[in-house]
A and B are shown apart, each in its own frame.
Chain A
Amino acid sequence: MKSPKSLRIKPEDVTTVKGLDKLIYKAEEEGVELAWHRFMKQQPQCGFGLLGICCRNCAMGPCRINPFGGEPSRGVCGATADTIVARNLIRMIAAGAAAHSDHARDILYVFRDVVWGRNKAYKITDPEKLKWVAGKLGVKVVGRNIMEIGRDVAAILEKEFGKQDEEPLALVKALAPKKRLAVWMKAGICPRNIDREIVEIMHRTHMGVDADPVSLIAQGARAALADGWSGSMMATLLSDIMFGTPKPVKAVANLGVLKEDYVNIIVHGHNPLLSMKIVEAAMSKEMQELARKYGAKGVNVAGMCCTGNEVLMRLGVPIAGSMLMQELAIVTGAVEAVVADYQCIMPALVTVAQCYHTKLITTEKKAKIPGALHIEFDPARADECAREIVRIAIENYQNRVPEKVFIPKEKVELVAGFSVEAILAALGGTLKPLADALRSGVIKGVVGIVGCNNPKVKHTYGHVELTKELIKRDILVVGTGCWAIAAALHGLLTPKAASMAGPGLRRLCSKLGIPPALHMGSCVDCSRMLLLLGMLADELGVDISDLPVAGSAPEWMSEKAVSIGTYFVASGVLVHLGVVPPVLGSEKVTKILTEDLESIVGARFYVETDPKKAAEYIAEYIEEKRRKLGWPA
């Protein structure tokens, strides 16, 4: 028998977010298991898995390689650790790219129905953005009806998923800097078709196909680029077109945004097609009145994870928390419904919800969880579906158990909404002020921080320490996803936070009225950072790989993060990882990722679990870039 490890966690060991300690104790008192408990039960995790040297790709296996030398040194088919690690890695990229791009596809289908007049539930909210995209794609704009323009754009974007030729993706050709395109052409990694690149990963990693780690990683990079510059890019562009391009907006974060006398609905997952409609329905007069009939003061919607970021960026909807807080939200006992679509939704939510009156409502046929209430969300009947879901939540209010309710009072103010357009507006219409600030050394560089939460890292500690250390060094921080939520939870997304920044960054922030860390959106909105980098590189007449910039995923866990990290590296940006990726089982693959890639795409990965050390390294890397540009250190 293993010694009975006391299955209690010390909140201060697992998170640095204020207010969560009482909820963690509450969960334990009420017998609710959290991700941290399950993480403890998984220890020690499989060494073969951690090193990436387990292969389950065929039935001759499962095979593993002995990391200490000796036998077995090859899989049954003869695959070495190099092959196995590379194959496993690019399958992670495939899954991540698929998640982002399929999310884009869902939005594209609705956009297509809107511009063909088949869907009246959604509309074109930002026609200027649509015209901008059209212009970039070579679609005639002058003197044409917006729907006509939209139809031509939809036709081009459809083909991003299915065109059968060797030409680069249309969005890649239209939006990536020419210098980058040249690098990708030379390296043979220019993406041709979103679905095809993912399929090709699956083919290459099948037993007995590609065994060359360089060749495998190249395909991984190609699929990741298809995600970043086309799949995710498309999701962001079309969401802006249909829901509005984000502008700076004030909001609040942390579980204190839940309201005791209101029906609380949490929107969770990723796609704004659902969350925007839930918010719309919940805020409608009809539903607010219905809530009052059931004894509540009204309906309150809060967001979780990236769909939370989507409604935060566009509507200022409060954000309850990030990925690792999803169970704790239910533990408050004050949530009538968690309305989820896809990605990052823990199946554990069903079990947690069963301990309270909370209903977990799944809405996507692609994302079902046994035990949840499944109400399929049909974009063609978006408003009715949304109303039905909100009604179910409101009716559930009477089932709330008052003795089980505890909402921590902690909540923090933040500013979000920094689309590229918003940043340009803050800068006065061009990137020149930013370029000048960089050139003169008022700010030394820009770092994009992204990614998830992971129990392997103390929750939000990695994100926040890194951010603080970077802004201290006059490095502007931008970012998305659960980084943004982490930064928000620690008050870093307010102009006041500039007091924690170095003198140069502080000056820039007070001049422009911005926080030292800019929330640029959801995970697919990492594409906003790609655009910003491309524009900055063009403004300065250099390639992205020459810029004093870097990226980081201090607490990553998802396969989407692997795709994102890879497309940033392939786009010329150093990417720091705060969680060790499963590649150390192959020295060769580790070297390719952390060294050799630099000579091919101008950037590489850098792994460091200590955020303070990572900040130092990144700062030095940025100094080096500045030196090469002839800029003052």
Chain B
Amino acid sequence: MAPATRAQYIIYIDYERCTGCRSCEIACAVAHSATKSIYTAPREKPRPKPRIRVFRVGELNVPMRCLHCANAPCVRVCPTGAMHYTEEGFVVVDEVKCIGCGLCTLVCPIGHPYVDPETGKAVKCTFCYKRIREGRLPACVEACPVDALIFGKTSEVLEEVRARKASVLAQAYLLGRDILPSPA
């Protein structure tokens, strides 16, 4: 069942900015570790797993994370109800209920969740909902050194994005106006 509140938060990804440094992957894994320290997390068992992954596609670096669909196929398909929405509308897996069937993997439009062989449970981006509730940023957003990942209320972030895009359009317009000869 789709949540009452949904899509109210966004992590807007600016693909033009991503340098492919993959600091977000490290921060994500550390945030989902037991010891929460870069120095000790890599040695933990089970190994902490990052939930964001940066792909190189042509000339662009493309960070891929869960889209926290408003009408998530993984929530609909989950046989135990482990996959569910938080009150904010984030899609999160309850590790107690999860049986590791992998149906979420099959139905996801972008192939995000998967069953961790070490734990037998589905691993997916949690939108760092616990950090958000504490007033902190999601780990990937905090780690990004170039602000390629932008977190906020969807409406507010989009205002900013639209303003940026508007200024790009305005520049293009002015360029066009100045180059073309004025009508006789």
Interface set of A (CB-CB < 8 Å, partner B): 1-3, 44, 46-48, 50-51, 64, 67-69, 580, 584-585, 587
Interchain nearest-CB distance for B13 vs A (Å): 13
Query: A48's closest neighbor in chain B, by CB?
Result: B26
Whether A2 contacts B142 by the Cβ 8 Å rule is yes
Q: Binary interface profile of B, 77-100, with partner A (CB < 8 Å = 1, else 0)?
A: 000000000000000000000000
Q: Binary interface profile of B, 38-68, with partner A (CB < 8 Å = 1, else 0)?
A: 1101110001111000000000000000000
Q: Tell me if B70 counts as interface (CB < 8 A to partner A).
A: no
Q: Tell me if B16 counts as interface (CB < 8 A to partner A).
A: no
**Interchain CA distance A48-B93 in the complex, whole Å:** 29
**Interchain CA distance A68-B137 in the complex, whole Å:** 22
The 5 nearest A-B residue pairs measured at CB: A47-B26, A67-B42, A47-B38, A584-B39, A68-B29
A46-B21, A50-B39, A64-B22 in contact; A1/B150 too (CB < 8 A)?
A: yes
Interchain nearest-CB distance for A89 vs B (Å): 16
Q: Which B residues touch A69, using CB under 8 A?
A: 42, 47
Set A1, A46, A50, A584: member contacting B147, Cβ < 8 A? A1
Whether B42 contacts A44 by the Cβ 8 Å rule is no
Set B21, B27, B43, B147: member contacting A44, Cβ < 8 A? B27
Set B27, B43, B47: member contacting A47, Cβ < 8 A? B27
Q: Tell me if B143 counts as interface (CB < 8 A to partner A).
A: yes
Interchain nearest-CB distance for B49 vs A (Å): 7
Interface set of B (CB-CB < 8 Å, partner A): 21-23, 26-27, 29-30, 38-39, 41-43, 47-50, 137, 141-143, 145, 147, 150, 152, 160
A3, A50, A68, most chain B CB atoms within 10 A: A68
Query: B38's closest neighbor in chain A, by CB?
Result: A47
A1-B160, A46-B21, A67-B26 in contact; A51/B38 too (CB < 8 A)?
A: yes
A2-B141, A2-B147, A3-B137 in contact; A68/B47 too (CB < 8 A)?
A: yes
Query: A72's closest neighbor in chain B, by CB?
Result: B22
Query: A580's closest neighbor in chain B, by CB?
Result: B39
Q: Which A residues touch B43, using CB under 8 A?
A: 587
What are 6 of the A-B contact pairs (CB < 8 Å)?
A: A46-B21, A48-B23, A51-B38, A64-B22, A68-B47, A68-B48
Set A47, A584, A585: member contacting B30, Cβ < 8 A? A47
Given contacts A47-B38, A69-B42, 15 further A-B contacts (CB under 8 A): A1-B147, A1-B160, A2-B137, A2-B141, A44-B23, A46-B145, A47-B27, A48-B22, A48-B23, A51-B42, A67-B26, A68-B41, A68-B47, A68-B50, A584-B39
B21, B49, B160, most chain A CB atoms within 10 A: B21
**Interchain CA distance A587-B141 in the complex, whole Å:** 29
Q: Which A residues touch B23, using CB under 8 A?
A: 44, 46-48
Q: Which B residues touch A68, using CB under 8 A?
A: 26, 29, 41-42, 47-50
Q: Which B residues touch A584, using CB under 8 A?
A: 39, 42
**Interchain CA distance A51-B30 in the complex, whole Å:** 13
**Interchain CA distance A64-B42 in the complex, whole Å:** 15
**Interchain CA distance A50-B29 in the complex, whole Å:** 15
**Interchain CA distance A542-B21 in the complex, whole Å:** 52
Q: Which A residues touch B152, using CB under 8 A?
A: 1
Q: Which A residues touch B22, using CB under 8 A?
A: 48, 64
Q: Which B residues touch A2, using CB under 8 A?
A: 137, 141-142, 147
Q: Which A residues touch B39, using CB under 8 A?
A: 50-51, 580, 584
Q: Which B residues touch A44, using CB under 8 A?
A: 23, 27, 142-143
Interchain nearest-CB distance for B92 vs A (Å): 21
**Interchain CA distance A2-B48 in the complex, whole Å:** 25
**Interchain CA distance A64-B19 in the complex, whole Å:** 14
Q: Which B residues touch A3, using CB under 8 A?
A: 137
Q: Which B residues touch A580, using CB under 8 A?
A: 39
**Interchain CA distance A68-B22 in the complex, whole Å:** 12
**Interchain CA distance A232-B27 in the complex, whole Å:** 40
Q: Which A residues touch B48, using CB under 8 A?
A: 68
Query: B12's closest neighbor in chain A, by CB?
Result: A1
Set B38, B145, B150: member contacting A50, Cβ < 8 A? B38
Q: Which A residues touch B150, using CB under 8 A?
A: 1
Q: Which B residues touch A587, using CB under 8 A?
A: 43
Interchain nearest-CB distance for B107 vs A (Å): 25
**Interchain CA distance A67-B25 in the complex, whole Å:** 11
Query: B44's closest neighbor in chain A, by CB?
Result: A68
A3, A44, A64, most chain B CB atoms within 10 A: A44
**Interchain CA distance A51-B29 in the complex, whole Å:** 14
Q: Which A residues touch B143, using CB under 8 A?
A: 44, 47
Q: Which B residues touch A51, using CB under 8 A?
A: 38-39, 42
